[in-house]
Amino acid sequence: MRTKLYVLYGGKSVEHEISLKTAVTVLGSIDESRFEIYPVYITREGLWCTPEQLTQKELTAEHLIAEPKFHDPARSIGEILSGVMAMSGAKVVLPLLHGPNGEDGTVQGLLELLNVPYVGNGVLASALTLDKAMSKHVLAQAGIHQTEYLACRYEEWRTDENMLLLKAEESIGYPCYVKPASLGSSIGISRCTNRVELIAGIHEAFSYDQKLVIEREVIGREIQVAVMGNGKPVASLPGEFIHDHIFFNYESKYMDKRLTMSIPAELPEDLTQGIRTLAIQAYQAHGCEGLARVDFFLDGEGRLYLNEINALPGFTNFSMYPVMWERTDGTSYSELIEHLIGHAISRHEDKQTIQYKK
């Protein structure tokens, strides 16, 4: 019998549209001879529902949007859990939820309680990697080099704005970047070259999150590495986007048709291997399992800075993660999805050996 595959997408997040794009590509690549697919759409309000049955040829972002039967989150989630997800037989969940309320450990916690295998990182690693401030603390403890940074909560800013501004200017300086702590796709990020821009960037970041990070700018190349696996993870060849943007923001990532991928990135062999090793080190320091993309800066002096870890990288046709694996060992898009599902099932089986009574 085919394994039931529940694909969660959408979500109560500003990255809702990115999730839809990812879902279209993933759903269109799954081997239907092996998996019985059940799409589960989560609205911007956090309501769960299922779309009409679609063939892979009919897949579009618009067709994947559904209207919930219940407008209370508890009832809508309950209907899905007691209905389609309660069916007997082998099953696995594939969360394609970017940002808060999906990539941050919340949905992963629910899936742990349901005791079902799911693709990607667990509760702790999901929470750590999405929270840039906490991730930076973990990297510092692991001795992994990163740029100077400052984390701040909204209450600190509201209490003494001037103190934060002075602290940022003294310890970080200009140019700097202001980022919401728990968001991806470069949403809410500002490049600031003076105090006026810094104040505007702080307000922008706090409109998306209650915590932010201010980082010193690193001028150089942005190098990415795909990592996959549980206990013995492996890293892909590094890659980079070739572009001429000073700040690689949301519009640059998703709307610039001139972007080209360079995979493998043109690097000396020893540096390539060093980056792959460091990516695995950072992956393990966060307790990651399943998958993650690790991003670095490489400055003009050859110094390497770990920028961030993305525990649920994009899987659109313009995303680096699947292409890096294809260029590394020939893994196709559909094969990659099956590898990730295999890691999910293996991890779940290992957890079933844990004792919960004496």
Task: State the binding site.
Answer: 295, 308, 310
3-state secondary structure the chain: CCEEEEEEEECCCCCHHHHHHHHHHHHCCCCCCCEEEEEEEECCCCCEECCCCCCHHHCCHHHHCCCCCCCCHHHHHHHHHHCHHHCCCCEEEEECCCCCCCCCCHHHHHHHHHCCCECCCCHHHHHHHHCHHHHHHHHHHCCCCCCCEEEEEHHHHHHCHHHHHHHHHHHCCCCEEEEECCCCCCCCCEEECCHHHHHHHHHHHHCCCCEEEEEECCCEEEEEEEEEECCCCEECCCEEEECCCCCCCHHHHHHCCCCEEECCCCCCHHHHHHHHHHHHHHHHHCCCCEEEEEEEEEECCCCEEEEEEECCCCCCCCCHHHHHHHHHHCCCHHHHHHHHHHHHHHHHHHHCCCCCCC
User: Known catalytic residue: 319?
Assistant: yes
- Whether 261 and 239 have beta carbons less than 8 Å apart is answered as yes
In sequence order, the β-bridge partners of residue 261 are: 241
User: Known catalytic residue: 185?
Assistant: yes
User: Known catalytic residue: 332?
Assistant: no
Q: How many CB atoms lie within 10 A of CB 34?
A: 12
Cα dist from 285 to 124, 128, 223, whole Å: 11, 10, 19
The active-site residue out of 13, 135, 182, 185 is 185
Which residue positions form the known binding site for Mg(2+)?
295, 308, 310
Distance CA 21, CA 26 (A): 9
Name which of 248, 303, 284, 212 is nearest 294 in CA terms: 284
Give the residue numbers annotated as catalytic, written as ranges: 15, 185, 319
